[in-house]
Structure 1
Amino acid sequence: MKAKDALGRQGEDVAASYLADQGFTVVDRNWRCEHGEVDLIAIDDRDTVFVEVKTRTSTAFGHPFEAITDAKLARLRRLASAWCEAQSGPRPRAIRIDIVSVLIRDGGLPLVEHLRGVFR
């Protein structure tokens, strides 16, 4: 596994634990379809939440949130729709897109930041 992939996986693990600690229930990880991949899908109260995780080791090239472009948000909306279509049973009442930033520095605890409702 490439170092970048391992860092991304570690960040997703940290984000999933963080969300669980916040009362979310993670229902899917790394869900893929023809439009791409959703890092985490979780339930928060009545919302089905599609979570993009951005993991970095520093902010030398900008904050992880800065990697979320309009094109990325549009793709996440398409992915959320595709996931809902692929599910059997009742449709989610409400969906939203959240972004979780994870900074993993050598020797320190990960720093997690969470933007809720980037798109609702």
Structure 2
Amino acid sequence: MFHMRTKDKLGQRGEALAAGYLEGAGMRIIDRNWRCPVGEIDLVAVDGSTLVVVEVKTRSSVDYGHPLEAITPGKLERLYLLASKWARAHDLRFSGFRVDAVAIIDDGVSEPVIDHLRAVS
């Protein structure tokens, strides 16, 4: 029998919370967990005519740093590459694209804290 690790459950819950938060902010989620040889995109959204690739980082605490600290320059570069690969793979055109990050701190007891950083660069 397959048992999901606690970390994986936390990540899935974080992605679901992030998707709900972004939809509440007026964005439309059009893909989740898209993979290609270069890597994975957690969420793909549309904000007006802009394609948005969303990196979701979920932690149960800030004991080891804020979740956004995990987004390194190399990771960010890969996310921009993934955005263009996703658009080509789906043959879609947008006026532009950006990378957003959503950090979630969810200790499983209190209300989760959600930080949305638009246009990470």
Provide structure 1 residue ranges, at least 5 long, that are not aligned to the other structure: none
* Deviation, structure 1 residue 37: 0.4
* Deviation, structure 1 residue 77: 1.1
What is the RMSD computed on CA atoms of the aligned residues? 0.9
- Per-residue CA deviation, residues 48-102 of structure 1 (Å, 9 max, x unaligned), is 10000000000001000100101100110111111011013x4111100000000
What amino acid maps onto 1:116 in structure 2? Answer: R
Give TM-score, length-normalised by structure 1: 0.95
Match of 1:87 in 2: 90
Name which of 95, 100, 103 aligns with 1:101: 103
Provide structure 2 residue ranges, at least 5 long, that are not aligned to the other structure: none
Match of 1:11 in 2: 14
| Moved beyond 6 Å, runs of 4+ | none
Give TM-score, length-normalised by structure 2: 0.94
Match of 1:112 in 2: 114
Task: Find the aligned partners of 2:85 and 2:51 in 1 and give their Cα distance.
Answer: 13
Task: Find the aligned partners of 1:73 and 1:39 in 2 and give their Cα distance.
Answer: 13
Name which of 34, 53, 56 aligns with 1:53: 56
What percentage of residue pairs aligned between the two structures are identical?
48
Aligned length: 118
